[in-house]
Amino acid sequence: MALPGLSLPGLGLHSSSTPVYGAGAPPPVEQAARKEDLEAQSEWRFEAAFGQPYSIKLLSGHAELFGVELAPGQTYSLAGCKGAIFTWQGCQLEISGEAESEYSAQETEYAVEWLSLHGMLETARDDAQVNGGPRVMVVGPENAGKSSLVRSLGTWAVKAGRTPTIINLDPKEGLLAPPASFTAVTVSSQVDVENGFGIAPISGPTVTPVKNPLIYSYPYSTPSEKPDVYKAVITRMALSVTNKMEEDPAAKHSGFIIDTPGSLNDPKSNYDCLNHVASEFSINLIITTGSEKLLNDLNRRFSAGRSAEDAISVLRLTKPGGAVERDQGYMRQLRVAQVRQYFFGSARESLNPHSHSISFSELSIYRAKAASDIEAGSSFRADDDDDYTPDMGTGTASASSTFEKVTPSVAMTGSLMAVKYCPGSSGEVMIRDSAVLGFLYVADIDESRKKVRFLAPHPQRWGDRALVWGSWPEAVPDLVT
């Protein structure tokens, strides 16, 4: 299966390629592997491009990638990753492959703050009474290390024997799922160095224990694009998470950590969505990596003038020196990689997607209408590969009608659809709030024969369920040929 213009290591189809070893990286022996000694509390920052093999091996000492400890002697393939290997005790790394930039850095005060924060959360967990452990929300601008912080805090908590729940509310980057989705997952087992939190359940063996996420879909790129949908899904999700906490005392005790998109702290909307998240999830600690202005705004909103038990602590962390700008091109590649990984797995856990050809009449596809009049979305639309065609029957629907049943059209080719748990005939609210069974890729639409060919992760059909099609994430034209 050729992938014109795109070669992703470890994400190629296993059926066509030679056995992938070490996520596509050639054996390190062949490359000019170099050794790098890191002092205690320093880090190795790297920006590895997609398609460029880049691997790191821990030779001696201890090191971690966003809290996930590297096993000594294991080669980790980190192509397409922008990160930093941090060491508390000093270590020696063996690095092979080319990176766009790589250097060792000593300015790592952020790590001490992160660790102290972990200590605070542990204290809070120790003190947890009936109300449960700390409920943390991390806010801040884009590329300020929010997800890395969430990952570190989650991993350290797991290491300390907790089962924290990690919640991702950023539609631009999926967690255990493709983009345009929200994830809630209770992490009780080892997380993965290469794949973030690892992998959601598959039928085969896995490198790290599987994580069982609950997935919702939000087919827009930012919360402000469709705040009403965003808030509604958040409300539904908070309900599930709260229920889960009640069912599982250990999870409640460990609390949860919410990762948010950079666009959540939007002063123009008077922090409307942020406020909503904080109240729906009963947040009691807000971490920000942003500006002092944001801190002030948050403090004014959540701490000041509230009673002691009602107040939400707000802490501001230093932005890590290693947090780098991830440009639109990179983010796009990342999303494509996530979509690809959803269907084909990774190098070590390769998956076979299944093709389903279904006639138009059997399908209930709902289009999530884009709010083209919302200004906040415009900055992203400029970069969007806009497959959305306005003549698809947008019409002049009322503001309340967001999901609209459509017949399949060629415009859908290459895009992602969420299979909702609700039946195809459900009402709009149900479709909006329902959890996600899985995602489908529209491989081909044959309008003359009235058939849609889907790529599905699972061999089984999904039955009569509502499919939601949005303009986000952008279509991936060359997932299958």
Considering only residues 239-258, where is the footprint of another protein by CB under 8 A?
A: 239-240, 243-244, 247-248, 250-251
- Give the burial string for 439-453 (b: 16+ CB within 10 Å, else e): bbbbbbbeeeeebbb
- Contact characters 439-478, another protein, x per CB under 8 A: ------------------xxxxxxx-x-------------
* Burial of 311 from C-beta contacts in 10 A (0-12 / 13-18 / 19+): middle
Q: Restricting to residues 329-358, which ones interact with another protein according to CB under 8 A?
A: 342-343, 345, 347-354
DSSP β-bridge partners for residue 35 = 94
Single out the segment in contact with another protein by CB under 8 A; choices: 359-367, 399-407, 421-429, 447-455. 421-429
Q: Please say which residue, 166 or 264, places its beta carbon nearer to another protein.
A: 166
Q: Write the secondary structure of 101-164 as one string of H (helix), E (strand) and C (coil).
A: EEEEECCCHHHHHHHHHHHHHHHHHHCCCCCCCCEEEEECCCCCCHHHHHHHHHHHHHHCCCCC
According to the annotation, is 144 in a ligand binding site?
yes
Q: Which is nearer to another protein, 406 or 436 (CB)?
A: 436
- Least distance from another protein to the Cβ atom of residue 218, Å: 15
Q: Is 47 annotated as a binding residue?
A: no
Distance of closest approach, residue 77 Cβ to another protein, in angstroms: 5
Residue 295 has, within 13 A of its CA and on its CB side, a CA count of 11
**145 labelled ligand-binding:** yes
**194 vs 259, which CB is nearer to another protein?**
194
Q: In whole angstroms, how close is the CB of 371 to another protein at the nearest point?
A: 23
Site for another protein in 102-121 (CB under 8 A): 109, 112-113, 115-120
Q: Is 253 exposed, middle or buried (0-12, 13-18, 19+ CB in 10 A)?
A: middle
| Footprint on residues 161-190 left by another protein (CB under 8 A) | 161, 163, 177, 184, 186-190
- Segment 46-65, which members bind another protein (CB under 8 A)? 55, 59-62
Binding of another protein by 285 (CB under 8 A): yes
Judge residue 391's burial from the number of C-beta atoms within 10 Å of its C-beta, 0-12 exposed, 13-18 middle, 19 or more buried: exposed
All residues at 6 or more sequence positions from 218 whose CB lies less than 8 Å from its CB, including other chains? 171, 180, 181, 182, 226, 229, 230, 233
**Residues from 207 through 236 that contact another protein (CB under 8 A):** 207-210, 212-215, 236
Residue from 321, 393, 423, 477 that binds another protein (CB under 8 A)?
Answer: 423
Instruction: Write down the least CB distance from residue 291 to another protein, Å.
Output: 15
Give the span between the Cα atoms of 90 and 117, in whole angstroms.
22
148 is in an annotated binding site: yes
CA 148, chain centre distance (Å): 11
Task: Kindly state whether residue 326 participates in binding another protein, applying the rule CB under 8 A.
Answer: no
Name which position in 11, 167, 278, 317 contacts another protein (CB under 8 A): 317
CA–CA separation, 86 vs 43, rounded Å? Answer: 4
Q: Which of 3, 315, 376, 392 binds another protein (CB under 8 A)?
A: 315
The annotation status of 198 as a binding-site residue, yes or no, is: no
CA pair distance 194, 450, nearest whole angstrom: 41
The rounded Cα 196 to chain-centroid distance in angstroms is: 9
The only residue of 31, 52, 104, 313 in contact with another protein, by rule CB under 8 A:
313
Give helix 146-159 / helix 109-126 axis angle, nearest 10°. 50
Establish if 6 lies at the interface with another protein (CB under 8 A): no
Which residues does residue 76 pair with via DSSP β-bridges, in sequence order?
56
Q: Is 147 annotated as a binding residue?
A: yes
Q: Among 76, 197, 218, 230, which residue interacts with another protein (rule: CB under 8 A)?
A: 76
Distance, CA of 166 to CA of 476 (rounded, Å) = 28
Residue 275 as a binder of another protein (CB under 8 A): the answer is no
Site for another protein in 356-415 (CB under 8 A): none
Burial 114-139 (b: 16+ CB within 10 A, else e): bbebbebbbebbeebeeebbbbbbbb
- The residue among 354 and 453 lying less far from another protein, judged by its C-beta, is 354
Size of the chain in residues: 481
CA–CA dist 21, 23 (Å, integer): 5
**Closer Cβ to another protein, 116 or 378, answer by number:** 116
Binding site, annotated residues for ATP: 43, 82, 143-148
